[in-house]
Amino acid sequence: MVSRTEAPVDTYAEAMSQQTQYALLRARARQRWDDLTDGDKPWVRVGFGASGQAAGSQEVFDALKHYGPNGTQQINLSMVGAHGLMYLEPVVDVIVPRANRVFHANVTHEVVPDIMSHYIDGRDQHPLHASAYAYSGHADDYTSHLHDWDQLPPNQLQKKILTANFGDIDPHDIFQYIAQDGYSALNKAVLSMTPDEVLEEVKTSGLRGRGGAAFPTGLKWSFLAPSKAPVKYVLCNCEEGDPGAFNDKGILESDPHRLIEGLILNGYATNSTHGVVFIRQGHDIPIEATRRAIDEAYENGILGENILGSDFSFEMEVSLTGDSYVAGEETAMMEAIEGKRSTPRYKPPFPAQAGLFQKPTNINNVKTIAYVPSIVATSGDEFKKVGTESSSGTALVCLTGHIKRPGMYEVEMGVTIRQVLDDIGGGVADGSERIKVLQTGGPLGGVMGEEAFDTEIDFDAMAQSGAILGSGGIIVGDETTDVVDLIRNLVAFNQFESCGKCFPCRLGNTHMLDVLDRMCKNEAKPGDMQLLETVGNNMKIGSLCGHGQLGYNPISSAITYFGEEFEKRFNGELEKSGPFGDGSMILPSRTRP
């Protein structure tokens, strides 16, 4: 419940006149935003998240603390979420009072004093530091030589729905989210819409699951909604063990309240009582951001009893899993939340009938749920206008590897892979000649060669090309990439992560890895291609979940695009290939007991 005495006096009256708890929160949020942006102090924001931390943002932030709230009080300082343009990290973003916004890129902690003297000691006395990269707003005498942030190719081509707040708000401050209209969709839903109406909007939107299977979200929710069980769960899957994908964690560490709002709406639309956010242990930044956001939501009457003054009550918690990739499979995830080994269950019963703790349950990916506030705030029809006929909305793409501008970019469905690579990614990395191969959709996805780069980013078009969109990871390999070696890396992951429940997966992955090992050492045997295919098909038929069923995907797609590289393994004349061609690749290799 809101503590009404804490509200500023002038806005208190306004909020009371509107008679809603949300209006009061909005008033406080507006006050908070004005404090940060309207004063005489620059507001300095440092992009953080896992990627920012890896690039050195923590040291930069620590250096800035000297000027901040606990230092000399000369600036407002916030640690914000991931900047999608990760090649620029660490990014220091300065909102200059009564002027514009300046982005400093690839900042190191040593240059922080040089950067800050311009903003603090006088803009004419101290020139803008050379790390200044772009401005936003109007160009003035100080910034006219910089790039226009909004016109940078990676920004121009993005369509921001999930990432609208990324880099702009402190994920640890609920009022910054509310100041950006956060929780307005929830307020609208619980006070003026029935659960069925919310569900209808999600159905109309054409939203499909972003976890990999692309199942229509509204339809999935409609399996759960009719049940009258007193306890029903909606689960949010942020296991995200896919190497090369970090967009789920990106949402949690940059804008966790969007996920929380979406999950409450998921609960409201399906008449559920409990939400669980499922995250892998060890990813401390998204875990802490989510826990803190849930606490803030409880403190402000957004979770718990009678949400925002309505009749709807909903509880939420974070559940951590140990390291297990298969825990991302929906029934295995329920086993993990129950504290057991995360192996898949037989279906039926389906989760909507008997899921977590045998209660009716719905499971959705982080990205899927994070779209819901936008859908409810506007309408399903509005959302449907974005994207392609069969895949509405956007895709949150993680672009990594031999690419000039690695990062996390939100693009409208229907843009081509080539646009993402060339226009957003800037083409192949410096020092490389060309992009040879892409690995998409995680280790159970596939690879594609250049002839497929004109494929549209769309669930069905990607599936036809032999790769999958899956979780949105696109890993770029240049002309030096040895495809067999890359596939060996993926299969090694799949072998390591097989949960062991179904023997075709447990043993099949081990067989396939043996064969690929031989190929990388140029010791392939005549029947090896046939052996791979036989084993792969057996896994497809004989495994309970996608881990085994899709395990042959990387190999089959690689044969489609790079078949000749496999053939070359048999003539015995090739150099031993890849960084591990001498057989020295050191991998954890085991099957689970």
Partner 1 sequence: MTTSQQQSRPELRERIREALESQRTDKERVPSITVLSSLLAVQDDLHYIPDEAIEETAIFCNATINDVWSVASFYTNFRFTPPGMTTVDVCWGPTCHLMGAQKVLDAVQDELGVDSEETSADGKITLRYSTCLGACAQAPVIARDHILSGRANPNSARQYISDLQQELENGIAH
- Scan residues 390-409 and list those touching partner 1 (CB under 8 A): 398-402, 406-408
Binding partner 1 (rule: CB under 8 A), the pick from 45, 208, 249, 345 is: 249
Q: Should residue 475 be labelled a site residue for partner 1 when binding is judged by CB under 8 A? A: yes
Shortest distance, position 278 Cβ to partner 1, whole Å: 11
Shortest distance, position 324 Cβ to partner 1, whole Å: 5
For partner 1, the closer CB: 216 or 243: 243
Q: How far apart are CA 563 and CA 378, in angstroms?
A: 48
Q: Residues binding partner 1: what is the number (CB under 8 A)?
A: 71
For partner 1, the closer CB: 217 or 400: 400
Binding mask 251-280 for partner 1 (x = CB under 8 A): -------------------------x----
**Contact by Cβ (8 Å): 395, 413:** yes
For partner 1, the closer CB: 425 or 546: 425
Footprint of partner 1 on 313-342 (CB under 8 A) = 315, 317-325, 336-342
Binding partner 1 (rule: CB under 8 A), the pick from 34, 150, 196, 295 is: 295
Q: How far apart are CA 223 and CA 270, in angstroms?
A: 9
Shortest distance, position 285 Cβ to partner 1, whole Å: 9
Q: How far apart are CA 32 and CA 80, in angstroms?
A: 16
Shortest distance, position 80 Cβ to partner 1, whole Å: 16
Shortest distance, position 466 Cβ to partner 1, whole Å: 17
For partner 1, the closer CB: 319 or 556: 319
Instruction: Report how far Cα 418 is from the mean position of its chain's Cα atoms.
Output: 21
Shortest distance, position 480 Cβ to partner 1, whole Å: 9
For partner 1, the closer CB: 152 or 398: 398
Shortest distance, position 153 Cβ to partner 1, whole Å: 17
Footprint of partner 1 on 14-43 (CB under 8 A) = none
For partner 1, the closer CB: 22 or 580: 580
Question: Encoding tokens for residue 495?
Answer: 């072998």
Q: How far apart are CA 539 and CA 557, in angstroms?
A: 16
Strand order in the sheet with 435-440: 407-412, 394-401, 473-478, 435-440, 446-449
Binding partner 1 (rule: CB under 8 A), the pick from 8, 113, 243, 542 is: 243
Q: How far apart are CA 330 and CA 17, in angstroms?
A: 46
Q: Should residue 380 be labelled a site residue for partner 1 when binding is judged by CB under 8 A? A: no
Q: How far apart are CA 369 and CA 375, in angstroms?
A: 10
Q: Should residue 469 be labelled a site residue for partner 1 when binding is judged by CB under 8 A? A: no
Footprint of partner 1 on 535-564 (CB under 8 A) = none
Shortest distance, position 289 Cβ to partner 1, whole Å: 13
Binding partner 1 (rule: CB under 8 A), the pick from 39, 127, 282, 563 is: 282
Q: Should residue 120 be labelled a site residue for partner 1 when binding is judged by CB under 8 A? A: no
Q: Should residue 486 be labelled a site residue for partner 1 when binding is judged by CB under 8 A? A: yes
For partner 1, the closer CB: 245 or 413: 245
Footprint of partner 1 on 71-90 (CB under 8 A) = 86-87, 89
Footprint of partner 1 on 212-241 (CB under 8 A) = 240-241
**Contact by Cβ (8 Å): 436, 476:** no
Whole-angstrom CA distances from 539 to 241, 544, 547 are: 21, 9, 9
- For 85, phi and psi rounded to 5 degrees? -85, 75
Footprint of partner 1 on 177-206 (CB under 8 A) = none
For partner 1, the closer CB: 197 or 284: 284
Shortest distance, position 496 Cβ to partner 1, whole Å: 7
For partner 1, the closer CB: 177 or 233: 233
Number of Cβ within a 10 Å radius of residue 122: 9
| Closest by Cα among 373, 354, 368 to 233 | 354
Question: Encoding tokens for residue 462?
Answer: 């990607």
For partner 1, the closer CB: 380 or 554: 554
Footprint of partner 1 on 417-456 (CB under 8 A) = 439, 443
Q: Should residue 107 be labelled a site residue for partner 1 when binding is judged by CB under 8 A? A: no
Q: What angle do CA 377, 383, 387 make, to 5 degrees?
A: 155
Q: At what angle do helices 553-567 and 528-542 cross, to 10 degrees?
A: 170
Number of Cβ within a 10 Å radius of residue 312: 19
For partner 1, the closer CB: 63 or 193: 63
Binding partner 1 (rule: CB under 8 A), the pick from 67, 371, 493, 561 is: 493
Instruction: Report how far Cα 166 is from the mean position of its chain's Cα atoms.
Output: 11
Footprint of partner 1 on 560-589 (CB under 8 A) = 579-580, 585-588
Q: Strand, coil or helix: what is 457?
A: coil
Shortest distance, position 219 Cβ to partner 1, whole Å: 28
Whole-angstrom CA distances from 257 to 345, 405, 504, 520 are: 31, 28, 41, 47
Q: How far apart are CA 73 and CA 40, in angstroms?
A: 11
Q: Should residue 593 be labelled a site residue for partner 1 when binding is judged by CB under 8 A? A: yes
For partner 1, the closer CB: 162 or 225: 162
In our burial notation (b when 16+ CB lie closer than 10 A, e otherwise), range 153-173 reads ebbebbbebbbebbbbbbbbb
Shortest distance, position 223 Cβ to partner 1, whole Å: 24
**Contact by Cβ (8 Å): 83, 46:** no
| Closest by Cα among 362, 434, 438 to 400 | 438
For partner 1, the closer CB: 56 or 113: 56
Q: How far apart are CA 382 and CA 405, in angstroms?
A: 31
In our burial notation (b when 16+ CB lie closer than 10 A, e otherwise), range 360-380 reads bbbbbbbbbbbbbbbbbbeeb
Shortest distance, position 43 Cβ to partner 1, whole Å: 25
Q: What angle do CA 123, 126, 130 make, to 5 degrees?
A: 105
Shortest distance, position 14 Cβ to partner 1, whole Å: 31
